[in-house]
Amino acid sequence: MNYDVIIIGAGPGGIFSAYELVKENKEMKIAVFEAGHALNDRRCPIDGDKIKACIGCKSCSIMSGFGGAGAFSDGKYNITNDFGGTLHEYVGKKHALELMRYVDDINMQYGGEGTKLYSTAGSGFKTECIRHDLHLLDASVRHLGTDINYVVLGNLYDELKTKVDFYFDTPVEQIEAAEQGYVIRCQKGTVTCDKCIVSVGRSGSKWMEQVCKELSIPTHSNRVDIGVRVELPAEVFAHITDELYESKIVYRTEKYGDLVRTFCMNPKGAVVNENTNGIITVNGHSYEDPALQTKNTNFALLVAKHFSEPFKDSNGYGESIARLSNMLGGGVIVQRFGDLIRGQRSTPARIEEAFITPTLTATPGDLSLVLPKRILDGIIEMIYALDKVAPGTANDDTLLYGVEVKFYNMEVEVNENLESCYDGLYIIGDGSGITHSLSHASASGVHVARDILGK
């Protein structure tokens, strides 16, 4: 079977390439190969009752399937070049923002209308931050919420399913460059295509590495972000989240001069497990629907680690730290800030006595046995700095879940069209190491689709 375009991965990158191709050229024969399940079949077995922790499903429904890693996410589409990826370095700042706004328009047409667009522009909170040596990054944030995000994905699938051949539960094993186009090998068979868009996200990072090795596509090592997820009563951050929803605040530590930043803020949200290649880390999300909201707000505090020669395996470093927490806690560890400061582990009794109820069942323990001193010192300094703009952050009962690791794929060498050294082989989204967010990944999909259409 031969297709004009084969898309590997049905995350935001893959979905938006398919959407744009179909919209502009009804004749094109397009297939999407996805390792995970169709949207309706995606279900994480953790129910907090019978199954409390990750059981390591063959295909993780949180990370894989139609909608990709973003399907059960908070659906925060950050329209900015300040974070979320470096797409602008390839396509230009203005164009990158245009692409992100275009994606936002489509999300609005497919079920997102009525959701709120927050903005840092003109916020007094920025001034308040600077007074305390904290730096608020500029962004507009569309918050779809986990529930509406799911509706939008369902509507996009309905739009595409009759125009595109979807192959779910079909991981691609190999890409082979043919004389004209590409041979795509899966366990179930082989297909060919003229052009191929690879959008395999973080869950496909190991496979992406293998493809680049086999095809001799140059790659560069990337950073890894390591830290914790903070959970506290929603009131502590309400004055910030009510106005901005998500605030990306950066702080330079006095002790080491490291940058610590807030990431993925979820007002009235829940802390969740994340499974990356069998390693359990922590993440968070929240719902637009008030009935599903909790009393807590959560966000990550992350420290970026870049490595220089001879060490290249930054993800391996992050994985080892996450494995340590899995070894000690059987998964994610939770500790009260007060216990951490006093050098004592949290116990089930101490967590029980706290004035906050954790939204994730995690093992009470001691994060200082897991996180390197330099990273932990940075996080503690940042918590005290945040306490000045959001008093209560440094309370004894503030919960810290560890570890949160943001793995970045190695950066694949591509040109301004996100095309590799092979004609018609595009590498996009988080799998390329260029994007790390819903908006940037989706925008990269639109960008390559337009390049293919133009050719």
Closer residue to ligand FAD (CB): 73 or 314: 73
Q: Which is nearer to ligand FAD, 70 or 358 (CB)?
A: 70
Nearer to ligand FAD, 340 or 448 (CB): 448
| Cβ distance to ligand FAD smaller for residue 264 or 340 | 264
CB 367, min distance to ligand FAD, A: 20
CB of 279 to ligand FAD, least distance (A): 13
- Which of 15, 2, 13, 52 minimizes the C-alpha distance to 439? 13
Q: What is the 3-state secondary structure (H, E, C) of 51-62?
A: CCCCCCCCCCCC
Helix ranges, 215-258 (H)? 234-244
Return d(Cα 142, Cα 115) in angstroms, integer. 7
- Select 175 or 321, whichever has its Cβ closest to ligand FAD: 175
SS3 292: helix
DSSP 14-55: HHHHHHHHHHH-TT--EEEE-SS--GGG------SSS--S--
Q: CB 235 → ligand FAD: shortest distance, Å?
A: 22
For residue 60, give the amino acid letter: C
Q: Which residues bind ligand FAD (CB under 6 A)?
A: 8-14, 33-36, 63-65, 68-70, 73-76, 78, 84, 171-172, 199-204, 207, 264, 274, 283, 285, 429-431, 436-439, 441
Q: What are phi and psi of 79, to 5 degrees?
A: -95, 95
**Comparison of 81 and 253: residue with beta carbon closer to ligand FAD:** 81
What single DSSP character describes residue 437?
A: S
Give the number of other Cβ atoms within 10 Å of residue 161's Cβ. Answer: 12
Between 12 and 181, CB nearer to ligand FAD: 12
DSSP single-letter state for residue 185: E
Smallest distance from ligand FAD to CB 144, Å: 9
Distance in Å, CB of 442 to ligand FAD, minimum:
7
Rounded distance between C-alpha atoms, residue 71 and residue 66, angstroms: 7
Name the minimum Å distance from CB 343 to ligand FAD.
Answer: 31
Q: Say if strands 2-8 and 259-266 run parallel, antiparallel, or are unpaired.
A: unpaired
> Helix, strand, or coil here: 448?
helix
Residue carrying structure tokens 């220089």: 308
Q: Kindly report the CA angle at 170 between 165 and 171, in degrees rounded to 5?
A: 125
Q: Minimum Å distance from CB 126 to ligand FAD?
A: 21
Rounded CA-CA distance 101/90 in Å is 17
249 vs 340 by CB, closer to ligand FAD: 249
Nearest distance, CB of residue 264 and ligand FAD, angstroms: 6
Closer residue to ligand FAD, CB minimum distance, 265 or 385: 265
Tell me how far, at minimum, the Cβ of 63 lies from ligand FAD, in Å: 6
> Residue 136 forms beta bridges with which residues?
249
Tell me the backbone φ, ψ of residue 187, rounded to 5 degrees.
Answer: -60, -35
Amino acid in position 69: A
